[in-house]
Amino acid sequence: MLELRSVNAGYGSFQALFDVSLEVKAGEAVAVIGPNGAGKTTLLRAMTRLIDLRSGQLSMESKDFTQAPAHEVVSLGIAHVPEGRRLFPRLTVEDNLRMGAFLPGARAEFSSRLEKVYSLFPRMAERRYQLAGTMSGGEQQMCAIGRALMSGPRLLLLDEPSAGLAPVVVQSIFDLVRQLRTEGYTVLIVEQNIQQVLQVVDRAYLLETGRIRSSGDAKALLGSEAIRRAYLGLV
Amino acid sequence: MNLRHFSVLLLVVVVLIPWAGLGKYPLHLMVMAALWGYIYTSWAIMGRLGMVSFGHGAFLGVGAYSVVLCWNLWGLSPWIGALIGVVATVVLAVIIGYPCFRFKIVGHYFALVTLALSEVVRLVIVALREQTGGSLGITPKSALGGGESYSLMALQFDSKLVWFYIMLAFWLMALWVWHQVDRSMTRLALQAISDEEDAAASVGIPVNRSKLQVTVLSAVMTCIGGVLYAQYQLYISPETVSGISISLQMVFGAIAGGMFILLGPTFGAVFLLILSEGLRILVGNDIHGVDQLIYGLLLVLFIIFMPEGILGGLLKRLKAQPAQSGQQSLAQRS
Amino acid sequence: MDSIFDIFLLEAVLNGVLLGGLLALLSLGLNLIFGVIDVVWICYAELVMIGMYGIWWLHTQQGLPLPLAMVISISMVAACGVLLHQYVVSPVLSAEPINQLLVTGGVLFFLQAFATVLFGVEFRNVGFRMPSLNLGDMSFSGARLVAFGVAVAAIGGMWWFLRNTYLGTAIRAISQDRGVMPLMGVNARQIYTLTSALGGGFAGLAACLLVLQYDVHPAIGLTFGPLTFLICVLGGLGNLIGGLVAAFVFAQFISVGGFFLQLEWGYVIAFVFFIAVMFWKPEGLLSKRR
């Protein structure tokens, strides 16, 4: 479904991604894991055209979108839930969700999708007129994911959804990811929380200092020596 | 011959030029150049340190109207009138400056608050129309009735030559003040403040006091500029010496020339004069406002393409030749 | 005889309310631009002036009916707003805020001179007379009443637009987080263009209302320009509601102050009030930002 080929990207004179290739097949859940500063967020930003590529290709369902302007990416069926949630703090929950449905195609489906999101996240329905900035981190994460769902995407990109959240909440987030999978969404998650994310996805890529070091079946990676030693502190 | 010698030579030339038999009008232009050079420099002493005031018209107007009103209404010599103007200016500058700096009113807000001040002054002048003549303006009563060519007490001089040297003297003084502010600890402090205020404060630099000092200095110098203007032009009106128009003009003049350089504001003054005179010659007196038109257009273009001003841009290019780095940073800026 | 209730004082208060409506409309356009794009259009009043000249020229010189002249003028000033943003403001958006103030200041001079060159310095009048409304001893200019009504309607319309449409919500959103807009399929530049058009459009509408009451001349912007900035700052730059409240407060100072003293003193009091408030609450009376 989504394919990245030999992507090189960075900021100014600083290069953050080196020859990155990966793919996400329809119906899959894929994780990109790696330490801080590996370039995971940069990868997602390159994927959604928020930054330009130095070289490489991006394609979605065989359609090349390497040069597409950033605001056209969502119309390809890709929804990006950014790092830190990035809700509009002084808009209500419902207005935030409304912004998610900005695309002309999404507007027509607004009411039905809104209902869907509210049934997925009952807490959001309760707080529909509350200012988004006044909610807790976990609630904001729910709202951010809901906002992304409003565009009716086929592929969901989640950037560190568990960052800054309490452990109990983190668990509910990953449960949510499982639920989204059963709903039929294809998911790509960028995460530092290796332990939990590898239990939720099918495959994973290991990104270190801008390069894909290894990739493969999630369970296999979880069991691999390298990962266990480097990231899980187990010897 | 290095830059130093060249400047001195240039200065000598400027001082001596009037004796070469300049007509009345060119001499008038030189007087104006020196005066506005002085005024813009006074503004920039404060402006270049991050305190961009849109209200210096207040101080100019206070200076101008103090001397004229004191003379016309109460027969007080402009020497005294100027003193009163200076005192009033100091009070105004402190009233506005102290709270602004204390409450960290900066940038947009500072510009607009100072703008309010200049408008208050203008409106008060207009409101007191009985005494000030309102929008019609006012002229100091002539003290040169009996064929005298000057009156020291009334600060009125017939000869433009005399005025030229007076303006020149003040202009040189302004440059000296600029230099002194630069050299003193205050300058380093203010640079630090304009870059990173809290850090500066944490190192023990008396932020508010330094800012206030420079503000009062700039205000008083501008006030005196108003005094000189009134006594030379012998006609002032609320719009020409106070309010938003003249305040903006001061800002533009200084910036067009380059407000971070010593001679920048002066350059701006000369440039604007040449521009308006040149246009007047080209276009004739019939079409009002063409010079302002070009002026406005140039200002817009300057801010977009050459925010360091003419002189600043020139210097940057001269310095950049060896390394090409100047060009690059210019490009990066836009 | 000396009752506390003075009918002419009431008249001044009510006139203040009417004036407030007009000032509120002016502040709305300016606040919209600042709230969304983070720039102060120092030349805002001059845009209004251009609109007024447009109406005058189209109606008195070209013989177009007044309503048509007004509609054309509003569109013209809206277009000016877009051009202003595109060619003058955009290039300096990443520079220091003071550069943005200065560049629009240059446009201020330009527009004033432009009007002078085209139309001269004489005062021009559209020649439109409306009857006054008389309530007892009080008399209210018809033009003022109409201006108030239209201003309130326009403000209400803008409110509805911002709250209930996708574009309106996007406008509110972009000022809170610009970087995230593309993720929802919003072209930020288009929103900025729309906002500049709206800002210009409001200036054009204000021009329509002002031209019914006042003569136009090139320097007219200086009479209400500074006032508009101060109203916006007082209410908190970018705060639409704050601007409205501040507009009515200011208008009262001007109207009632002008009633007790000369007209200019009313303005002086208003401005001094502004300076005083700045020191009490520098972010503005109702500010929610910074």
Tell me if B89 is assigned to some domain. yes
Which of C264, C277, C266 has its CA nearest to residue C236? C277
- Of B42, A108, B332, whose CA–CA distance to C166 is shortest? A108
**C187–chain A Cβ distance below 8 A for any pair:** yes
Smallest Cα distance from C165 to chain A, Å: 9
Quick one: which of A156, A168, A161, A151 has its CA closest to A117?
A151
Determine the angle formed by the axes of helices B207-233 and B160-183, rounding to 10 degrees: 170
- Long-range pairs for A15-22: beta carbons < 8 A, 24 or more residues apart: A15/A54, A15/A210, A16/A42, A16/A210, A17/A42, A17/A43, A17/A46, A17/A210, A18/A210, A18/A211, A19/A56, A19/A211, A20/A56, A20/A207, A20/A210, A20/A211, A20/A212, A21/A212, A22/A205, A22/A212, A22/A215
C188: closest CA of chain A, how far (Å) = 8
Tens digits of residue pLDDT in A77-96: 999 999 888 999 999 999 99
Are B284 and B265 in contact by the 8 Å Cβ rule? The answer is no
Buried b (16+ CB within 10 A) or exposed e, C21-33: bbbbbbbbbbbbb
| Nearest-neighbour CA in chain C from B319: distance (Å) | 23
Specify the higher pLDDT residue, B256 or B45.
B45
| C88 DSSP assignment | I
What local confidence, expressed as pLDDT, does residue C144 receive? 87
> Could you say which residues from 67 to 96 on chain C have a Cβ atom under 8 Å away from some Cβ of chain B?
88, 91-92, 95-96
Residue B328 pLDDT grade (very low, low, confident, very high; cuts 50, 70, 90)? very low
Average pLDDT of chain A, as a whole number: 88
Tell me how far apart the alpha carbons of residues A218 and A199 are, in angstroms, rounded to a whole number.
7
Q: Is the pLDDT of residue C278 over 90?
A: no
Which residues from chain C sit within 8 angstroms of residue A111, using beta carbons? none
Give helix B207-233 / helix B56-74 axis angle, nearest 10°.
50
Q: What is the DSSP letter of B140?
A: P
Q: Report C:158-177 residues touching A (Cβ under 8 A).
A: 166, 169-170, 172-173, 176-177
Judge whether B132 and B65 are in contact, CB under 8 Å. Answer: yes
Tell me how far the alpha carbon of residue C159 is from its chain's centroid: 16
CA separation for the pair C192, C174 (Å, rounded): 9
Show the DSSP H helices in chain A as ranges.
Answer: 40-47, 93-100, 104-108, 110-120, 122-126, 137-149, 167-182, 194-197, 218-223, 225-231
Nearest to B300 among C110, C222, C229 (CB): C110
pLDDT range class, residue B103, cuts 50, 70, 90: confident
State how many domains chain B has.
1
Q: What domains are there in chain C, each with its CATH number?
A: 7-280 (1.10.3470)
Tell me: the pLDDT tens digits for B131-174? Answer: 888 888 888 887 776 666 677 777 788 788 888 889 999 999 99
By C-alpha distance, the chain C residue nearest A70 is C182
pLDDT interval class at C286 (50, 70, 90): low
The label of the residue with tokens 């440039």 reads B271
- Averaged pLDDT score across all residues of chain B: 81
Phi, psi of B236 (to 5 degrees): -135, 150
Rounded (5°) CA angle C102-C34-B332: 55
Q: Which tokens in the block code for residue A176?
A: 């949510």
Model confidence pLDDT, tens digit, residues B164-207: 889 999 999 999 999 888 877 566 666 666 666 666 666 666 67
Task: Measure the CA angle with vertex A40, ends A38 and A46; round to 5°.
Answer: 125
Mutation to test the A interface, candidates C184, C191, C192, most A Cβ within 10 Å: C184
* Tens-digit pLDDT profile for residues B213-225: 889 999 999 999 9
DSSP 8-state secondary structure symbol assigned to residue C132: P
Model confidence at C206, pLDDT cuts 50, 70, 90, reads very high
Tell me the domains of chain A and their CATH numbers: 1-77+169-175+188-235 (3.40.50.300), 79-153 (no CATH)
pTM, full prediction? 0.85
Q: Does C18 touch chain B (CB under 8 A)?
A: no
- The pLDDT of residue B325: 41
- Kindly tell me if the per-residue pLDDT of B270 is higher than 80: yes
- What's the pLDDT tens digit per position in C136-145? 878 888 888 8
Q: Does the beta carbon of C1 lie under 8 angstroms from any beta carbon of chain A?
A: no
Q: Is residue B10 assigned to a domain?
A: no
For residue B116, CA distances in Å to A201, C22, C30, C271, C273 come to: 62, 20, 17, 6, 10
Structural contact between residues C134 and C11, judged by C-beta atoms closer than 8 angstroms: no
Interchain proximity B248–C105, CB inside 8 Å: yes
Does B304 map to a domain? no
**Under 8 Å between Cβ of A91 and C201:** no
d(CA C254, CA C274): 12
Residues B57 and B242: beta-carbon distance below 8 Å: yes
The neighbours of chain C, by the rule of 3 or more Cβ pairs under 8 Å, are: A, B
CB contacts, 8 Å: C188 with chain A: 71
Measured between CA atoms, the residue of chain C closest to residue B109 is: C233
Provide ipTM, 2 decimals. Answer: 0.87
C182 touches chain A (CB under 8 A): yes
User: Does residue B12 lie in a domain region?
Assistant: no
pLDDT score of B146: 65
Distance from CA of A218 to the nearest CA of C (A): 28
Contact between residue B66 and residue B256 where contact means Cβ atoms under 8 Å apart: no
Domain region containing B110:
22-241
Distance CA B82, CA B75 (A): 13
Distance from CA of C134 to the nearest CA of B (A): 30
Q: Are C200 and C130 in contact (CB under 8 A)?
A: no
Q: Which chains touch B (3 or more CB pairs under 8 A)?
A: C
Least confident of A54-68, B98-112, B310-324: B310-324
CB contact under 8 A, B105 and C278: yes
Phi-psi domain of A27 (left: phi exceeds 0; alpha: psi -120 through 50; beta: other):
left
Query: For an interface test with B, which of C229, C261, C262 has the most B Cβ atoms less than 10 Å from its Cβ?
Result: C229
Residue B51 CA to residue B70 CA, distance in Å, equals 32
Instruction: Tell me which residues of chain C, numbers 261 to 290, contact chain A at a CB-CB cutoff of 8 Å.
Output: 288
Angle at A39 between CA A36 and CA A40, to 5 degrees: 85
Q: At a CB cut-off of 8 Å and minimum separation 6, what does B12 contact?
A: none
pLDDT digits (tens, 9 = 90+) for C105-117: 889 989 999 999 8
Render the burial of C218-228: b for 16+ CB within 10 Å, e for the rest: bebbbebbbbb
Q: Binning pLDDT at 50, 70 and 90, where does residue B11 land?
A: confident
Mean pLDDT value across residues A25-34: 90
Helices (DSSP H) in chain B: which residue ranges? Answer: 3-16, 24-47, 56-74, 78-102, 107-127, 129-132, 160-183, 185-195, 197-202, 207-233, 238-241, 244-257, 264-283, 290-305, 309-320, 325-333
Residues in chain A closer than 8 A to C182 (CB atoms): 48-50, 69-71, 73-74
What contacts A67, CB < 8 A, 6 or more positions away?
A: none
* C178, C35 Cβ separation under 8 angstroms: no
The pLDDT of residue B198 is 63
Domain presence at residue B222? yes
Q: Which of A60, A5, A33, A70 is nearest to A186 (CA)?
A: A60
Q: With 50 as the cut, is the pLDDT of residue C288 above it?
A: no
What are the structure tokens assigned to B299, written together? 């200002």
Q: Is residue B78 part of a domain?
A: yes
Q: Contacts of residue A152 in chain C, CB cutoff 8 Å? A: none
Question: In Å, what is the CA distance from A224 to each residue of A217, A220, A230, A231?
Answer: 10, 6, 10, 11
